[in-house]
A and B are shown apart, each in its own frame.
Chain A
Amino acid sequence: MTELLPLVPVGVTFDAFTDIDFWISVGILAGIYTIFALGLQLNVGFTGIQNFGQVGFMAIAAYSMAILTTTPDGGEGINFWISLPLSVLITIGFALLVGLPSLRLRADYFAIATIALAESVRLIALNARGLTNGAQGIFGFDRSWDDFTDGIRDFIVDIGWTDVPNIFPLFLVTWVLAIGLTIALSRMQRTPWGRVLRAIREDEDAARALGKNAFSYKLQSLALSATLAAIAGFLFVINIKFVVPDSFLPIVTFTGYAVLILGGLANYWGVAVGSIILWTILEGLRFMDLPLEETQIAALRFILLNLTLILLLAFRPQGILGKREEMVLGE
């Protein structure tokens, strides 16, 4: 079985061994981005805050996990399964720290501030060699995970499917989480808490005049979104087996937004739809048989993706499953 290392965003090419292996890996990416973009949907579609720093939360979680689970000399640190909730807590802490000063800013300023913060995280990860190993990154954090997936695979073989691909357990876990989180978020939306969030998105002053502490709710939304980014982050680095700063470029956040635009705002199930469509097209374009070099094909895929987004934003801003009113026109 070939080790599958997806192109985006690490920049290492991979070898499609068999069709099914390729598409399972696409499915994993789609699932990871679903979870990632669910957080964005909560922020943008349901609370009205333009969080453009989501990849920063992903990075904090991934690095925390990797740093906790490994030691600089290659040994083992804290137990992997314990490092996960700990990393989530660290990420939430960071989200609160970020949110406290910046959530009262206007929408476009908040976007700029969050991009700056996410980029700062990446640059620090790149330069704080003592802590993060700089550009070389951290590896070896997934031993416990591998044991776990071996267990899953054995189970699957036992129930009949003997030729199960190596990465299938990750695919399974990713989508179980993606669907579970989508259900959970949908249900949370139908509570009084969800109602307050929507009111804040509609008209924050009205919500405040009715006794709701809008700032606190926005912080909660950000913290939850950071948790989702954290989960996506864990799966992401497990998938590529490395934690490197280059995995956390701003384009990841923007791809998340692309998923939102495709699937439609204010619609949790649309996120999965958007993600699947995006990754199918993006990865499907890989098979374009053109007399071009590797980096050129990569560039072309992104050009097409972004042109499509511009067209979508111009002519169908509500996405595939969204309602026209949701994408605020003339705000």
Chain B
Amino acid sequence: MSSGNGGRPAIFEAEGIVKQFGGIRAVNGATMHVEEKSITALIGPNGAGKTTFFNLITGFYRPDAGRAVFAGREIQGRPPYVIANLGMVRTFQITKALARMPVIDNMMLAAPDQPGENLANVIFRPFSWRKREAEVREQAMELLDSFNLARLADEYAGTLSGGQRKLLELARALMARPRFLLLDEPMAGINPTLGRRLLDHMQRLRAEEGVTFLFIEHDMEVVMNHSDRVIVMAEGKVIADGEPHEVRQDKTVIDAYLGGAVVSQ
């Protein structure tokens, strides 16, 4: 099932993650690892438990059983903000742009280590955070610029188009200085050109900043041609894990998809 641990250390490992809702086991013993600085795709038929798995490892759900380790620390059951602060940041399937706040605020919110977010500082040391705030604003504008969103900085995020929101979501996640970025269907609902740009960003970030990516995707072209490794989930378990061409030919995977898109590449 699992290909050899190619030479790169694992930045993330999950072991036997289980989650039950009522009578249904949405995730039934998922075990996998993600190599550092890799771009790994997580695929599987609908209902396989991929988004639930994301929610479990990022702290939005509490696993009933199992272990998750990120950069050497156990994170199962920890709350989302702790996991995010450790450098493991996720985006959402349906973008969560903070609609009634300007784009620039959306961005600046995500920056870590802001003394101005501390109430005591705000009340008692009102000038101590101005410097960092200016830094954060500059970084935010730079990042917006690299995504071609700089001109929208003062617009309310709610007025952005679907594709722009996806980019904002990604840019915002990057403001958080993640080591490990989990993207839930980043290509969904955006046009191919924009999608291409997103993929280029991912490659660049991996190369320049050493960010690891794990993304859920349904678009097989993207998965096959732009990921280093593919992990396949079905019925709450990981059923395959390897390089794209290996996985494409794996019989269990083909069965899981009932002879669907995987083969037609």
Question: Which residues of A are interface residues toward B (Cβ below 8 A)?
Answer: 187-188, 191-193, 195-196, 198-199, 202-203, 205-214, 220, 224, 325-326
Contact = CB atoms under 8 A, between A and B. Distances in A.
Contacts of A209: 58, 60, 80, 84, 89-92, 96
B119 interface: yes
Contacts of B123: 188
A196 B117 contact: yes
A203 B97 CA distance: 8
Given A208-B79, A211-B81, A213-B81, A192 B114 contact: yes
A207 B79 CA distance: 12
Contacts of B101: 195, 198-199, 202
Given A188-B122, A192-B114, A208-B84, A199 B100 contact: no
B84 A206 contact: no
21 contacts: A187-B126, A188-B123, A193-B116, A195-B101, A195-B105, A195-B108, A199-B109, A202-B98, A202-B101, A208-B79, A208-B80, A209-B80, A209-B84, A210-B89, A210-B110, A210-B172, A211-B89, A211-B176, A212-B81, A220-B119, A224-B119
A22 to B, nearest CB: 38
Nearest to B115: A192
A192 B80 contact: no
B99 interface: yes
3 pairs of A and B residues whose beta carbons are closest in the complex: A192-B116, A206-B96, A211-B84
Contacts of A208: 59-60, 79-81, 84
Contacts of A188: 122-123
Contacts of A206: 92, 96, 98
Interface centre among A192, A196, A207, A325 (most CB of B within 10 A): A192
B112 interface: yes
B98 A196 contact: no
A190 to B, nearest CB: 10
Contact of A191 (B122, B172, B176): B122
Interface of B: 58-60, 79-81, 84-85, 89-92, 96, 98-101, 105, 108-110, 112, 114, 116-119, 121-123, 126, 129, 133, 136, 158, 172-173, 176
A203 B172 CA distance: 14
A235 to B, nearest CB: 21
Contacts of B136: 192
Contact of A196 (B79, B100, B109, B121): B109
A198 B108 CA distance: 13
Interface centre among A196, A206, A209, A325 (most CB of B within 10 A): A209
B98 A205 contact: no
A163 to B, nearest CB: 40
A188 B129 CA distance: 12
Nearest to B123: A188
Contacts of A187: 126
A196 B119 CA distance: 11
A202 B99 contact: yes
A239 to B, nearest CB: 28
Contacts of A199: 98, 101, 109
A192 B79 contact: no
A206 B136 CA distance: 19
Contacts of A213: 79, 81
A192 B133 contact: yes
B114 A205 contact: no
A291 to B, nearest CB: 50
Contact of B98 (A192, A198, A326): A198
Contacts of B126: 187
B122 A193 contact: yes
Nearest to B130: A191
Contact of B60 (A195, A205, A325): A205
A203 B123 CA distance: 25
A210 B100 contact: no
Contacts of A207: 109
